[in-house]
Amino acid sequence: MALYLIGDVQGCDDALERLLKHLAFSPSRDTLYLLGDLVNRGPHNARVLRRLMALGTSAHCLLGNHDLHLLAVSRGVRKPNKQDTVQDILTAPDSTDLLHWLRHQHMAMRLGKLLMVHAGVLPQWTADQTMALAGEVEAVLRSDDWVQFMPQMYGGLPNVWRDDLAGPDRLRVIVNALTRLRFCDAQGAMDFSVKEGAAQAPAGLMPWFDVPGRLTQDMRIAFGHWSTLQTMDRPDVVCLDDGCVWGGCLSAVRLETCDTEVATVNAPAWERLSVKCQQTLDPLA
């Protein structure tokens, strides 16, 4: 049995189909973990959701910022922007089922010593705390209150975590960390102004995974969201957003079940497998 972690699909169903063939993926034997941004900017968003829904318990999915944006657009909370391509979901005959399935996906996932998020983890959070906080947002999204939560989700403040945060502020910080984070300072104050790679970090900021003393250093962490980061050869963290929708690749890593239990210091290399995608957009747009 193999576990496959897959980066940002963003509606590129043709690339997803080719990647699964490249992996020789078998739903009766293997398991997929998709790291969020399942939809938007690519051409076949409804097809992606239907494919993943049909895989049942063989596919586990995170929610990314584009997925949450779709949910907000579906309820009129946000207007589509000019690069959105989610109309095929909004007008599909099974739109209600697709959106219901989407909002019941995960904000974080964990397998032993492997932690999966769409964007990042604040340095003050342990893996256990990350999962608990993700669960708070998941509970709201799966409840009858999810529509009321959508407008409260937006905004960059507060940008620092405090354990005593409550209500919309608390949930907004959790969402921003898990689905938008790239850079923060040594105290975990998030900055959302820069989309470039790690070398372009503004003064006083660093990639979230490089903060000294980060409390998830004992975990292996897989994430997406950061197509300009480029491939990193590190045993502790892997970014699987290889810019599929921007004319890059759709990528996966293959893990054996035992790989989720090893210490990061002895972790095996991530075995990256990729297929080229034909979509071409500006990654900084």
Residue 284 maps to a domain: no
- The gap from C-alpha 39 to its chain's centroid, in whole angstroms, comes to 11
Residue 90 maps to a domain: yes
Strand extents, DSSP E, 7-68 = 31-34, 59-61
pTM for the model: 0.95
Please state, as a whole number, how many other Cβ atoms lie within 10 Å of the Cβ of residue 234: 15
Task: Give residue 279's pLDDT.
Answer: 58
Residue 152 maps to a domain: yes
Task: Give residue 198's pLDDT.
Answer: 86
Residue 285 is given by DSSP the state: -
Which domain CATH number covers 79?
3.60.21.10
Task: Give residue 281's pLDDT.
Answer: 55
Structure tokens at 157: 């403040």
Q: How far, in Å, are 77, 83, 194, 227 from residue 245 at the CA level?
A: 25, 12, 19, 10
Task: Give residue 280's pLDDT.
Answer: 52
Strand extents, DSSP E, 68-142 = 108-111, 114-117
Residue 282 maps to a domain: no
Task: Give residue 190's pLDDT.
Answer: 97
Task: Give residue 265's pLDDT.
Answer: 76
Q: Determine the Cα–Cα distance for residues 23 and 45; give it in Å rounded to an integer.
A: 21
Q: Based on the structure, what is the number of domains in the chain?
A: 1
Q: Chunked in runs of 10, what are the mean pLDDT values of the chain (285 residues)? A: 94 96 96 98 96 98 98 95 95 98 98 97 98 98 96 96 98 98 96 89 94 96 93 85 92 88 82 82 49
Structure tokens at 21: 């063939």
Residue 283 maps to a domain: no
Residue 113 maps to a domain: yes
Task: Give residue 283's pLDDT.
Answer: 47
Task: Give residue 285's pLDDT.
Answer: 46
Task: Give residue 123's pLDDT.
Answer: 97
Residue 18 maps to a domain: yes
Task: Give residue 284's pLDDT.
Answer: 46
Domain encompassing residue 242: 2-276
Residue 101 maps to a domain: yes
